[in-house]
Amino acid sequence: MASETRLSVNINKVATLRNARGENVPNLVQVALDCERFGAQGITVHPRPDERHVKKTDVIELSAVISTEFNIEGYPSKEFLELVKLVKPAQVTLVPDAPSAVTSNSGWDVVSNFVFLTGVVAQLKEYGIRTSIFVAPESEQVEAAAKTGSDRIELYTKPYAELFDVDPLKAVEPYRIASKYAGENGLGVNAGHDLNLQNLRFLKQHLPFLDEVSIGHALICDALYMGLQNTIMNYLQQLR
């Protein structure tokens, strides 16, 4: 099993709350710094074209102060690639979302988009940025992702979360297989979407390789009750 799985906190929901009043409360940069201070090993953002949560200016400001790993998710449009070239985060996670999508709701069909993604990965490598491709836990997609030259995949875990309460072993099995297959093909493995304090430990225990999880919605919701520091400590405990 992987010796350590890093926690990257997605702070999009904090930006959504801030934007509701059009002011700078809560302060997104301060929240990111607090997450790091409380033990998070990375910060994730997903800037969208309509800037309904994280804005381009936020990304630039965050890139200047984050001392852990900065992970920027997004669809690789021209504007997105220009932004990540400017800030050069540690990692870019490529997602297939349409601009109007509320949240990520599927992985890439890497097979059908192979030429496009291969070109994007090559471009990001020129910038010195580690690349991760958001995929479903399917061997065909994992293999195609490896052939693009990507460094990692991020497994889309919503189906796991939905089935977890009914049959956890059945829920985790496709992810165990995909994780093993990714490791055998030289890919790092990330995971994200609908992971929480109830299902995270089980996922960690059953995946042969799991480098990083990116968690936002559930973690920020838990922080409303438990406080941000205590919440991050609880999530880190699930990964140990």
Q: Which residues are catalytic?
A: 46, 73, 193
On whether the CB atoms of residues 39 and 234 are closer than 8 A, the answer is: no
Other CB atoms within a 10 A radius of the CB of residue 80 amount to 20
Q: How far apart are the C-alpha atoms of 232 and 155, rounded to whole Å?
A: 21
Which SS3 state, helix, strand or coil, does residue 213 take?
Answer: strand
On whether the CB atoms of residues 218 and 196 are closer than 8 A, the answer is: yes
Q: How far apart are the C-alpha atoms of 27 and 38, rounded to whole Å?
A: 16
Encode 197-211: b = buried (16+ Cβ within 10 Å), e = exposed.
bebbebbbebbbbbb
Residues 6+ apart with CB under 8 A from 96: 75, 106, 107, 108, 109, 113, 134
Q: How far apart are the C-alpha atoms of 67 and 131, rounded to whole Å?
A: 19
Task: Say how far residue 92 (Cα) sits from the centre of its chain.
Answer: 9
The identity of residue 47, as a single letter, is P
Residue at token pair 């997609």: 141
On whether the CB atoms of residues 116 and 149 are closer than 8 A, the answer is: no
Residue at token pair 């061997």: 139
On whether the CB atoms of residues 13 and 220 are closer than 8 A, the answer is: yes
